[in-house]
Structures are given as C-alpha cells and as structure tokens.
C-alpha cells in the first residue's frame, strides 16, 4: 500500500513526488524525465491539474509503461478520476469555504471510487498565499491562507488531523512566485503527527533544502523539472542525505 510506504518512510528519510500535468508534457520529454525519476528512486508520481484539456488515461499508461513508480491521482476535477492509476489523493480544500471542494465533489465521486481499485488517501489540501493568483485559487473560488499567518495554517492543519485526514498538503500553487514560508511548514509539522507534503514555487536545490529543513516529509516538484530535469537528481541527493 502506498500510504503504508509513506508512513514507513516518514521520520526515517525525506520523500519526493513528481507532479505531471497532462496538458504540459511532451511524450519524449516525459519519458526522459521518467528515466531520471526511476534512476533517482522518486517515491511516487502525482498526475492532475486545476484545469486540463487532455484525458489522463493515456498519460498514466505512458508513465506505467516507462517506470514502476506508483502513480497517484491529484485531481482538480471529477473528470480527472481514472482507474488506470494506483491511488488517489482525495483532496479536500480545507483552507477555503467552497462546499464543492470541501465535500460536494467527493459525494459525487464516492460511488465511483468505491467500485474502483484505487487506494484512497484522504488529504487536507491547504492553499497558502504565494504572491500571485494561482490556477487553483481562481478555479476553486477560494482565498488562500495569508503567508504571514502561520497560526491560521497551524489551526487548519490541526483541525484536519482531528477530522481524520491522512496527509496535510501545503500548497503555494502552480506558477507561484514564492514558496510556502518555512515558518508555516515548521509550525504545522510541530503540531501534527501525519505526514506533511509541500509543493509549489520550488525552483532550486536551495529551495528544496530549506523546505526539508523546515520539516516537510514530502516535497512535490513539477514545473521546475520541465525547465531543469537535473533538479530531480539534485533534490534526490538531499533526500538521500537526510
């Protein structure tokens, strides 16, 4: 089970997830990225986005045909659910107040997910202000938590763990101009016992080092890898040193 693997590694070594947006890939480039990911033992691959125009099934099949890395859905909508993946981060946007992204879409998807073979991992999705209006903020009609309000982020994460969420995902958003502040990562990690994922705005090995040092258990990289595939190996070296 993927979640059992995440729990087993948490506290022992850091983890890395690669985020793949079906609308932002070229086949040859993705295959090369998968080679790099496999060589560096990336822990799992997330697939999805806030708004996509291409089906996810062919991309998942391409990933599975070129690597043995587990694939988890990271759905921005109900249209991104696929039984071709290994599991799904069942995201609830707990930083916002839009009922569709808190529970509404989940009710619609639940019967389908129950019949699927997907491993379902309930995940508290917490959007943090990043200096720009990100796709997830715009599409979800929600406001992110201010980046200078760690107390709100901590309380939101605490409530999420108390409600039974298995993961806390702190997200600056795709295209973020700044990453999740270290004070928020550190504060959340100190107050919850479930694994903490951090993504968005990570563009360098130095960014990754700071995020790991602040307490993140899992680091998610996406856009930066498209521009600099070598970054994956650099982050993996940090993980392996931890």
Q: Read off the pLDDT of residues 113-151 as tens digits, 9 standing for 90 and up.
A: 999 999 999 999 999 999 899 989 999 999 999 999 999
Phi, then psi, of 174 in degrees rounded to 5: -65, 130
Mean pLDDT of 145-164: 98
Q: pTM for the full model?
A: 0.96
- Least Cα distance to 212 among 176, 186, 175, 190 occurs for 186
CATH of the domain at 21: 3.20.20.390
CB count, 10 Å around CB of 173? 24
Number of domains in the chain: 1
pLDDT digits (tens, 9 = 90+) for 189-230: 999 999 999 999 999 999 999 999 999 999 999 877 877 878
Domain that holds residue 178: 2-241
Quote the CA–CA distance of 29 and 27 in Å, as a whole number: 5
Helix (H, G, I), strand (E, B), or coil: what is residue 182? helix
């Amino acid at each position: 089970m993927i979640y059992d693997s995440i729990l087993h590694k948490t506290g022992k070594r850091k983890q890395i997830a690669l985020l793949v947006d079906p609308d932002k890939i070229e086949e040859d480039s993705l295959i090369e990225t998968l080679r790099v990911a496999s060589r560096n033992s990336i822990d799992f691959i997330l697939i999805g986005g806030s708004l996509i125009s291409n089906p996810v099934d062919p991309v998942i099949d391409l990933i599975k045909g070129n690597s043995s890395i587990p694939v988890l859905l990271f759905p921005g909508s109900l249209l991104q659910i696929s039984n071709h993946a290994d599991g799904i981060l069942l995201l609830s946007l707990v930083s916002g107040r839009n009922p569709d992204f808190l529970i509404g879409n989940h009710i619609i998807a639940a019967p389908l997910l129950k019949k699927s073979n997907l491993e379902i991992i309930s995940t508290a999705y917490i959007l943090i202000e990043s200096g720009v209006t990100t796709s997830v903020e715009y599409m979800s009609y929600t406001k992110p938590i201010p980046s200078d309000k760690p107390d709100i982020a901590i309380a939101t994460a605490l409530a999420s763990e108390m409600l039974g969420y298995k993961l806390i995902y702190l997200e600056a958003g795709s295209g973020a101009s700044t990453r999740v502040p270290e004070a928020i990562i550190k504060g959340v990690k100190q107050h919850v016992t479930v694994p903490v994922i951090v993504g968005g705005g990570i563009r360098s090995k130095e960014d990754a080092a700071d995020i790991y040092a602040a307490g993140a258990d899992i680091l998610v990289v996406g856009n930066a890898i498209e521009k600099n595939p070598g970054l994956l190996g650099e982050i993996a070296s940090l993980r392996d040193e931890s």
